Amino acid sequence: LPGVVEVRVALTASRPERTVIAIGSGKGGVGKSTLTANLAVALARMGKRIGLIDADIYGPSQPTLLDAHQKPQAEGSKMFPVTTPSGVRLLSVGQLVSPGTALAWRGPMATSALNQLIDADWGDTEIILVDLPPGTGDVQLSLIQKARPDGAVIVSTPQDLSLIDATRAIDLFGKVSVPVLGIIENMAGYTCPHCGESSDPFGQGGAETSATNLGVPFLGRLPLSASLREASDAGRPPAAEEGPAADAFSKIAAQILA
Bind-site residues for ATP:
26-33
- Residues numbered 32-71 forming contacts with ligand ADP, rule: CB under 6 A: 32-34, 59, 61
Distance of CA 218 to the CA centre of its chain: 17
In the list 24, 25, 149, 165, the residue contacting ligand ADP (rule: CB under 6 A) is 25
Residue 156 binds ligand ADP, judged by CB under 6 A:
no
Q: What is the b/e burial string over 41-66, where b = at least 16 CB atoms within 10 angstroms of the residue's CB?
A: bbbbbeebbbbbbbbbbebbbbbbbb
Question: Rounded to whole angstroms, how far apart are CA atoms 81 and 74?
Answer: 9
The nearest distance, CB 155 to ligand ADP, in angstroms, is 6
Query: Is the separation of the CB atoms in 115 and 73 below 8 Å?
Result: no
Residue 200's alpha-carbon distances to 48, 95, 143, 205, 245, in angstroms, are 35, 36, 34, 10, 18
Residue 232 vs 250, nearer CB to ligand ADP: 232
Maximum C-alpha span of the chain:
75
Residue 80 vs 105, nearer CB to ligand ADP: 105
Give how many residues touch ligand ADP by CB under 6 A: 19
Residue 78 vs 251, nearer CB to ligand ADP: 251
Residue 187 binds ligand ADP, judged by CB under 6 A:
yes
Of 110, 115, 132, 163, the closest CA to residue 22 belongs to: 132
Of 29, 41, 61, 27, the closest CA to residue 248 belongs to: 41
Residue 18 vs 168, nearer CB to ligand ADP: 168
> Residue of minimal CB distance from ligand ADP?
31
In the list 6, 7, 12, 29, the residue contacting ligand ADP (rule: CB under 6 A) is 29
- Contact set with ligand ADP (CB under 6 A): 25, 28-34, 59, 61, 134, 186-187, 222, 224-225, 228-229, 232
